[in-house]
Structure 1
């Protein structure tokens, strides 16, 4: 897709991968609507912010209408980036945290995707990018709830792309390993070392998938830091 003058919606736009993707899309000439609870520190003539809590269906539907009215064109791209994780052993995970993760990572993604799909199918062009995690491919101890949400997104996405591919709509899942964002602030004893991937790295992958030829579809993309512990010290 040529992103020039296309309307791109990015959830969780205030920082990290969402903010980096917004900047990258703007550089390609897109109009970007950032959806989130906190405004993004971004000043650009082709960017506007829509305050929305993706966990609430009615708020998402209002945001979709406000976005189209503000931009004066239909949504061509949705990047489902909003998400969170809470650490906990399975039998110690609080019910509140379990529901918070599902409401954000699964239900929020469902509400946003459901809101934009009809117009994408009508215009026979669209691309939905879901930021998943390697935790959607492999279980991680002390993160069963988070893994459950990401496995759910993976299954939902793989079913959805088979439903909408004949309408010219793509669905891509990106599975990042460790990325240097504030995600790890909710995990005990976790740090964000310099050898993690950067948000800009993931944004470049998203843009690569978005700009692929119309009949070329990235379904699943797994990305990791090449040397997560840094370059090894070899004896001289």
Structure 2
């Protein structure tokens, strides 16, 4: 897709992968509607923030209408908003379980549901879902988060087959450990320099968007090359 002048909606823009994605899109000439609970400090004429709770269906509808009225129809949606709680299945509070699914799964559905009709009308669009390698396997004490990312994988695999006939691409990115705030509340890992940089994930997203109209990136799994650092040689 030729990106210059196109409108992208990016969810979860306050930090991490979402924030870095906004930056690379702006550098590529994209007009960005940032959806999130907190507005990052971005001063750019093509950046517009819309306070949004993706877990709230009515709130998403309102943000979409405000975005469309101000900026027009979106050619790109980056479903980035997501988070996880850690806990054993029998100890996980019900409200935490539901909150993860409300944001990570229902939020993705709400946002996608809103943008697709315009993309079908334009016969152009690209939806990028940020999953996780947790969406490809199991992780002890992370069953709720893993479940949401398996759902993201299944949704992406299904809707790309629904939408391809309309000229709409759906790509799912599966990052391994990334140096973001995600690990602030995770006991078995701490964010560190051996993890991937969020700006590199953002570049992967950009490269997927820049492909030829008939070239469809469906799934991309990315991992740190040396997650434990370079081994000491004796």
1:29 match:
29
Contact 2:184–2:191 under 8 Å retained in 1: no
Matches within 5 A, 1:125-164: 125-164=124-163
The residue that corresponds to 2:182 in the other structure is: 183
Cα separation, 2, equivalents of 1:31 and 1:40: 16
CA deviation vs aligned residue, 1:107-161 (integer Å, no higher than 9, x gap): 0000000000000011000000000000000100000000100101111111100
Q: Distance in 1 between matches of 2:143 and 2:130?
A: 18
Tell me which stretches of 4 or more aligned residues in structure 1 moved more than 4 Å: none
Aligned residue in 2 for 1:51: 51
CA positional deviation for 1:70? 1.3
- Deviation (angstroms), 1:189: 4.7
| 1:166 corresponds to 2:165 | yes
**1:62 and 2:66 correspond:** no
Aligned equivalents of 1:47, 1:2: Cα separation in 2: 18
Give CA deviations for 1:139-193 in whole Å, capped at 9, x if unaligned: 0000000010010111111110000000000000000000000011121253111
CA contact (8 A) 1:175 1:220 kept: yes
C-alpha distance in 2, partners of 1:154/1:189?
24
State the partner residue of 2:106.
107
Q: TM-score, normalised by structure 1?
A: 0.98
Paired residues, what number? Answer: 234
Cα distance, 1:69 vs. partner? 1.3
SS of residue matched to 1:34: strand
RMSD of aligned C-alpha atoms? 0.7
Check conservation: 1:3, 1:29, Cα contact below 8 A. yes
| TM-score, with structure 2 as normaliser | 0.99
Q: Which SS does the other structure have where 2:75 is aligned?
A: strand
- 1:118 to 2:117 alignment: yes
**Given the alignment of the two structures, is residue 196 of structure 1 paired with residue 195 of structure 2, yes or no?**
yes
1:82 paired with 2:67, answer no
CA deviation after TM superposition for structure 1 residue 32, in Å = 0.4
List runs of 5+ in structure 2 lacking aligned partners: none
Rounded Cα–Cα distance in structure 2 between residues aligned with 1:60 and 1:66 = 10
Task: Return the alpha-carbon distance in structure 1 between the equivalents of residues 167 and 145 of structure 2.
Answer: 31
